[in-house]
Structure 1
């Protein structure tokens, strides 16, 4: 864990009671509209395992992802506080406000308060805030009425719970006491209990003996199993995955072979990983082993849900995950929507899991990842994990919604414009090519406008950018290419990359 503050233990029953009392305000806040619109205190902290975070270059810029929440400022009385580790570029903020079609950027800017820690260290943002009494006071001073405010976070740990209690406002995210359902082990268990199919496998792997035993039993029960996947319980974006190959495994004496071959038969999703470092993390946080469904042409869709205190569990969107890395395990982008052959079924299964989570008291944004063995027929669906947090596909969907201002159809799984026309997108905040670090945020906007690729309210198509602050630092470009069909969205996405490549070459 990132620090001792991430302890899951309470100081006493009084703390638990205080937190629960704060949480009881949420239903009324979510029911408020118009002049009673609440204040959002947004803390986009990635309060995740520090060793896992170090695997992602420029991860601090992910704090910009939650700028899509500027859509809340459509309501004239709404206010938002947005707290980051380092000051946000003014051009980044202005662009985020301008990306919401019906938002008056100037009026919205007057109701947006930006605060920062002046600290770019890898320490979780929430922890930095808690250690800075002066910043806490500035946040409190900027909240007009704490009875009409709530805290929004990327994910939720005891740090976020502690911050909510320090500020005296409720937390709109999963109660950390319920977070075990979002680990790889806990997620598999909840999915099974909810009647959602999962791959054959084993949870709560805590030592080398348990890992070897799980790998042996998995192969023994599945003679055709050629590979297994090992996942760290608290990893994310696929960076904590490793693939074990049974190539060369003997017909007898499998346990001795697995034990002897374990380090060399594992291939890690993160290139910096070694058996020594990976094993240490696995023993510390636990993990799972499951069958690697090795089917040519399989797909990896996901369903986003939101559990709010008024409506309960609702499907937000489906999408196809675009995966990269040495073993194709690392999330690099997404396309919306998921394929029609299985879209309705993964919605149904994900909602079943969402309702089970809601029954436990879970709130906030989450997603359920799937694997479909036969995408053409839609057969062979297995749920892989539950992510009790916002993810890489959260911002793209809401950027689509902010630009198009239509509605998601629960019946068809399509996003429809106000005129009833479908819109699709291809998105990534990790598009990285040689020379992109030479580009400033203003440059890519100018390129898109000059080439006629930028989003147009007249056609409700075009490219919308996000996480623009990462561009000059890491060379990573974030964009959502919105079009009428998936094929057109892909062509638009590719055209933007081609134009950015050409601009980099001209700069030489």
Structure 2
């Protein structure tokens, strides 16, 4: 703290500023601070008094006005103030503001057109008053003049006091970066000047404006050129980086693709080599102990798999492959596409007892009890990694190293082979990883001949009767031409079917009735006018063909309908898929009563011919040198009204293990019976009532009839757990009698959704089996449904179909009784 005769200076904290209070002899408080040009120091001085020392930390001192002194005292006071100012300037090494004389005004003066009159009285008074600090003020004044000249300001009124404050309010570096706002703030008419300075283009009206404009234009042009060149360089650099990265990725992809192709080629060669060994040892394998690895994979294309709901449940519908353990030489490793609950494991544990004599079993897991029963259920760990990808089971198993290691351990030292589902390229990878053969065709062959067009080629090569039609249609013109040609040659067909090559289960089928075609009746009249020999001549068919070609496009657009509207809402959507994937045009059997049959065959690796259910169904064996394994053939049989003989058409071919075959395995396991292909009967051994302990080998054999349904769907089934559902069925008498080998058996697929089940009913005659099946559907539907609930189900449709079949059976029996001659 510094004190003097006029007063004392003491620190006084105020906010974030260091404030000093100077008390004079009369007790007046004088205030100063460190902030720039904001806080003021009130300085009162009487004649003859001297200014004491001030704190060197004070940054700004602004004066207060006092009445003007007399002329005699003004010079003396001026000298004393100059001494005090010089003393403060010498103390302030940072060019900080200095205190002003208290007996002067703000010293205004004018600058006209950027030029100051050095002889003006107001300017001379200002210069004389601040001569001690003029060296710092003159730089600010010169900068202000240059600013006013550059912007052609006509008149500026300067406040001398503000100019001094501004010149001492900046450090030594202010001259190199003078703010325009700071310079304008020293003017009394600063608003007018600032508006003029801020006007666009004003700089080019002042001193050196032409040069400034030229420089500005050149700089803008150079900047534009430089930026354009820079952006071009950046684009080229980005393009070069993108091209190099793309080339690098393409090279890597090419290398990976070649490696994958080489690996798949090795896997295919290994498959063929193991298939030859399997064919050579097939008879020995069939008669000895063996392990069958069942992988019910649906290796459809990605687009097909993504469009299927509950894809994992659809793959698990063939869980009844476990029933192949009815052969005592067979052990089954079943790869399950989803995790099964304890309820399903317990159900199949009790169901798959070899002798079928007990209804219960312990609730141990499948792997823990593998020593008790010859089947193991394994779920790949990749199921948890790809829950929403709808990947086929072979692909999931390929990426499940722990499950593959477990299977290798289980089949070590045993004869084993794989039975897959719909063939996929990853089947070869799994077989190569396990080192076992596959009982099935190559994936490429399966994909080629499992289509509708491929099946027709197989049937024609085997000289099997097929519906009139044409396959491999990919364009609309070819569709119209093929349809017109085959319709001309088959006028008796009243409905034509359109089938997408890669679809399955009737999903990709559409139809169109000939009755909507206006020229159909005219075509029939034309044919009836000529004899049978002339009808097949080209000149007779030419007129009908031309008439059909004209009307078919509009006929299809107006009257063609997809069979399943849930898959294809209209003909346009169906036609788009049909032409993209290819398809077949076929005739619907020309009869009111058509029966569809499915025949499951096994093309053995040893080259044995499969047994055929009917000699009239085949003109030759259905086998191919490039195909082996399980084959499913769909047949349509009907009565030809022209010849009054039964005809059989082969309408579809699937090179896969069918759902019907899996249900048949369950039927044979539960009944202990066998299928006699020669008599087309299910022969079941039944114990007599008086001999409960009679062995099955010596039991009398009776015929049984069964109805199988593998795709029963009801959305309300999810409300019941499986044990509750089975208890409900037992309460209504829906169960299987092991002694009589009659009743109902259920197939359970999943523990979470529980919307799909399978059902088998067995009875002494076909009518009884159908009645039992329909009754079970009705009872289950009534128990789990109500009038207020909306459900999705196929129970009603199946029940109606069964009622139609029962009505046909009754009519046939009545007709047989009427036709029977009297005794």
Q: What is the TM-score of this pair, normalised by structure 1?
A: 0.82
Tell me the number of residue pairs that the alignment of Structure 1 and Structure 2 aligns. Answer: 469
Residue 307 of structure 1 pairs with residue 603 of structure 2: yes
CA 57–14 in structure 1, closer or farther in 2 if over 3 Å, else same? closer
1:337 match:
none
1:330 match:
none
1:17 match:
269
Larger RCO, structure (CA 8 Å, separation 6 or more): 1
Deviations 1:20-51 (A, max 9, x none): 112133243663368x5222222111112344
User: 1:258 pairs with 552, 573, 576, which one?
Assistant: 552
Distance 2:333 2:651 in 1: 35
Distance 1:69 1:48 in 2: 20
Any idea what SS the aligned residue of 1:225 has? coil
Q: In 2, are the aligned partners of 1:396 and 1:427 still within 8 Å (CA)?
A: yes
Any idea what SS the aligned residue of 1:191 has? helix
Residue 449 of structure 1 pairs with residue 717 of structure 2: no
Q: In 2, are the aligned partners of 1:365 and 1:390 still within 8 Å (CA)?
A: yes
2:488 match:
220
Residue 500 of structure 1 pairs with residue 780 of structure 2: yes
Distance 2:302 2:443 in 1: 18
Distance 1:385 1:427 in 2: 20
Q: In 1, are the aligned partners of 2:305 and 2:391 still within 8 Å (CA)?
A: no
Q: In 2, are the aligned partners of 1:441 and 1:469 still within 8 Å (CA)?
A: no
Any idea what SS the aligned residue of 1:172 has? coil
Any idea what SS the aligned residue of 1:369 has? strand
Distance 1:75 1:108 in 2: 15
Residue 393 of structure 1 pairs with residue 660 of structure 2: yes
Any idea what SS the aligned residue of 1:435 has? helix
Superposed displacement of residue 191, structure 1: 1.3
Greater strand fraction, Structure 1 or Structure 2: 1
1:39-438 correspondence runs (5 A) = 39-53=291-305, 56-74=308-326, 78-100=330-352, 102=354, 107-109=371-373, 111-116=375-380, 117-118=383-384, 119-121=386-388, 122-145=390-413, 148-179=415-446, 180-251=448-519, 253-271=547-565, 272-273=567-568, 274-310=570-606, 312-315=608-611, 344-345=614-615, 348-349=617-618, 355-357=621-623, 359-374=624-639, 379-418=646-685, 419-433=700-714, 435-438=716-719
Of 115-124 and 478-487, deviating more is 115-124
Q: In 2, are the aligned partners of 1:43 and 1:152 still within 8 Å (CA)?
A: yes
Superposed displacement of residue 99, structure 1: 2.9
CA 186–299 in structure 1, closer or farther in 2 if over 3 Å, else same? same
Superposed displacement of residue 458, structure 1: 0.4
2:284 match:
31
Deviations 1:39-85 (A, max 9, x none): 22221111123444556543421333332222343466754322233
Q: In 2, are the aligned partners of 1:37 and 1:75 still within 8 Å (CA)?
A: no
Distance 2:282 2:514 in 1: 54
1:340 match:
none
Deviations 1:357-415 (A, max 9, x none): 1x414222212111122299761321112111122311221111111122211221111
Q: Which stretches in structure 1 are left out of the alignment for 5+ residues?
A: 317-342
Superposed displacement of residue 310, structure 1: 4.3
Q: In 2, are the aligned partners of 1:365 and 1:388 still within 8 Å (CA)?
A: yes
1:463-482 correspondence runs (5 A) = 463-469=744-750, 473=753, 475-482=755-762
Distance 2:768 2:477 in 1: 51
CA 441–474 in structure 1, closer or farther in 2 if over 3 Å, else same? closer
Deviations 1:445-477 (A, max 9, x none): 22333333212210111111114427x626333
Superposed displacement of residue 429, structure 1: 2.5
Distance 2:775 2:768 in 1: 10
Any idea what SS the aligned residue of 2:299 has? coil
Superposed displacement of residue 261, structure 1: 4.3
Q: In 2, are the aligned partners of 1:426 and 1:482 still within 8 Å (CA)?
A: yes
Superposed displacement of residue 13, structure 1: 5.6
Q: In 2, are the aligned partners of 1:300 and 1:369 still within 8 Å (CA)?
A: yes
Distance 1:255 1:11 in 2: 51
CA 397–77 in structure 1, closer or farther in 2 if over 3 Å, else same? closer
Deviations 1:192-217 (A, max 9, x none): 22221111110111222222222221
Q: In 2, are the aligned partners of 1:233 and 1:285 still within 8 Å (CA)?
A: yes
Q: Which stretches in structure 2 are left out of the alignment for 5+ residues?
A: 1-256, 362-368, 520-545, 686-699, 790-823
CA 476–22 in structure 1, closer or farther in 2 if over 3 Å, else same? same
Any idea what SS the aligned residue of 1:45 has? coil
User: 2:771 pairs with 482, 487, 491, which one?
Assistant: 491
CA 462–480 in structure 1, closer or farther in 2 if over 3 Å, else same? same
Distance 2:657 2:331 in 1: 21
Distance 2:402 2:557 in 1: 49
Distance 2:434 2:577 in 1: 33
Distance 1:239 1:261 in 2: 22
Distance 1:386 1:48 in 2: 15
Superposed displacement of residue 345, structure 1: 4.1
